């Protein structure tokens, strides 16, 4: 029987063949995967783990922190700060970047993560996930500050996520395609389960939170009304809707069978650029989606070309099956052009 390839062997063989990964990055991926295994174990304890529910603290986003948000953040810090591969790291759960303690050697990579995305679903036992992204620290031996992280998404050297669902699955890209791993819980090992994940260019499935429809800008309303018109409308085919309210779960579905995931900005706050975070949600997911043959924009431009201005800045998100994202992005570009005339 052809035995499954474990993550360690996959990384060693990738380093040997393709050189798109060095020792430090290989170790970083291993220890992030190990942290995700620990988070998976806590998440699956549910009520029995005494770690559900909220704390009485809020994060920089102004969101009440779940106990598991804080625990997952600590697990990722403990797993990565000592390895000598990081110059610094940043997290959705920490206002400022985390400097590597003086007792540890510093490396050339910057790690960004959302330790437990979708954590509002935790208390109702719905899938959540960890999203991670790696940049190069370009400041040589300079101290890491917020500016060190403010690099456009195309500078990422690695991105991935781990979905804590019925099975625990990890998606990984190093810029040469997307490969999928499934956690063998008895062995405690991520096993390669799919090479070269590809998103179908066409789709009939969309993920949007429809409850904000009355606040949308016209191009978003136009796009969704055409989807709802189905085969009787200009699109000439019927569409189906899904919304988990956990980005990792919604994006994993479109990677697996096609679809679009959209979280637009809306008119409730014209100054707001969107809801989701650029650096550790939209950019890593965009890297994965593009590497799988999909497309990702903020409605007006390629997501990974955006020059970040703040570590926790938010952005509108349109990602998934290429042909569909081209349509919705064109509608937004046409609207923006009319507004500027």
Give contact residues for ligand P6P (rule: CB under 6 A): 117-118, 120, 209, 245-247, 250, 276
Say how far apart CA 93 and CA 116 lie, in whole Å: 9
Which one, 110 or 315, has the nearer CB to ligand P6P?
315
Structure tokens at 158: 């690695």
Residue keyed to tokens 């991520």: 190
CB of 182 to ligand P6P, least distance (A): 21
Residue facing ligand P6P at closest CB distance: 247
Which one, 199 or 276, has the nearer CB to ligand P6P?
276
CB of 333 to ligand P6P, least distance (A): 24
Say how far apart CA 108 and CA 128 lie, in whole Å: 30
DSSP string, 128-145: EEEEEEEEE-TTTTSPP-
**Region class of 125: left (phi > 0), else alpha (psi between -120 and 50), else beta:** left
CB of 38 to ligand P6P, least distance (A): 21
Torsion angle of the four alpha carbons 56, 58, 62, 65, in this order, in degrees rounded to the nearest 10: -90
CB of 63 to ligand P6P, least distance (A): 7
Say how far apart CA 336 and CA 341 lie, in whole Å: 9
Which one, 120 or 333, has the nearer CB to ligand P6P?
120
Which one, 250 or 290, has the nearer CB to ligand P6P?
250
CB of 225 to ligand P6P, least distance (A): 20
CB of 193 to ligand P6P, least distance (A): 23
The values of phi and psi at residue 178, to 5°, are -125, 130
**What are the CA-CA distances from residue 264 to residues 56, 75, 162, 304 (Å)?**
30, 32, 24, 17
Which one, 118 or 284, has the nearer CB to ligand P6P?
118
Structure tokens at 161: 């996520």
Which one, 120 or 189, has the nearer CB to ligand P6P?
120
Q: Which residues lie below 8 Å from residue 182, measured CB to CB, with a gap of 6+?
A: 167, 168, 169, 170, 190, 191, 193
Task: Decide: 253 and 129 in contact? Cβ < 8 Å.
Answer: no
Angle of helix 7-18 relative to helix 23-43, nearest 10 degrees, comes to: 160
Angle subtended at Cα 280 by Cα 29 and Cα 323, rounded to the nearest 5 degrees = 100
**Region class of 65: left (phi > 0), else alpha (psi between -120 and 50), else beta:** beta
Which one, 108 or 275, has the nearer CB to ligand P6P?
275
Whether the CA torsion 31, 43, 257, 211 is positive or negative: it is negative
Which one, 117 or 179, has the nearer CB to ligand P6P?
117
CB of 245 to ligand P6P, least distance (A): 4
Which one, 118 or 308, has the nearer CB to ligand P6P?
118
CB of 104 to ligand P6P, least distance (A): 31
CB of 249 to ligand P6P, least distance (A): 8
């Amino acid at each position: 029987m052809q035995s499954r390839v474990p993550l360690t062997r996959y990384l060693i063989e990738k380093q040997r063949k393709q050189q798109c990964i060095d020792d430090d990055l290989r170790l970083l991926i291993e220890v992030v995967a190990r942290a995700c295994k620990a988070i998976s174990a806590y998440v699956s304890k549910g009520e029995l783990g005494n770690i559900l529910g909220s704390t009485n603290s809020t994060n920089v986003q102004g969101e009440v922190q779940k106990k598991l948000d804080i625990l997952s953040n600590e697990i990722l810090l403990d797993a990565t700060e000592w390895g000598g591969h990081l110059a610094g790291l940043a997290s959705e759960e920490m206002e400022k970047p985390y400097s590597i303690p003086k007792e540890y050697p510093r490396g050339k990579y910057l790690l960004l993560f959302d330790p437990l995305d979708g954590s509002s679903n935790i208390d109702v036992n719905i899938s959540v996930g960890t999203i991670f992204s790696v940049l190069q620290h370009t400041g040589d031996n300079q101290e890491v500050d917020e500016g060190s992280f403010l690099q456009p998404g195309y500078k990422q050297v690695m991105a991935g996520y781990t979905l804590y669902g019925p099975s625990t699955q990890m998606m990984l890209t190093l810029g040469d395609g997307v490969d999928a791993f499934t956690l063998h819980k008895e062995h405690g090992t991520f096993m390669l389960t799919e090479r070269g994940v590809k998103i179908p260019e066409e789709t009939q499935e969309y993920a949007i939170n429809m409850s904000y429809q009355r606040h949308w800008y016209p191009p978003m309303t136009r796009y969704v009304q055409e989807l709802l018109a189905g085969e009787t409308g200009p699109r000439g085919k019927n569409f189906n809707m899904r919304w988990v309210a956990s980005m990792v779960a919604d994006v994993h579905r479109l990677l697996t069978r096609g679809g679009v995931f959209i979280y637009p900005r809306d008119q409730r706050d014209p100054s707001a650029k969107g809801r989701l975070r650029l650096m550790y949600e939209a950019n890593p997911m965009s890297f994965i989606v593009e590497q799988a043959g999909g497309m990702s924009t903020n409605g007006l431009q390629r997501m990974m070309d955006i020059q970040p201005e703040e570590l926790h800045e938010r952005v509108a998100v349109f990602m998934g099956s290429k042909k569909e994202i081209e349509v919705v992005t064109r509608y937004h570009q046409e609207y923006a052009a009319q507004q500027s005339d």
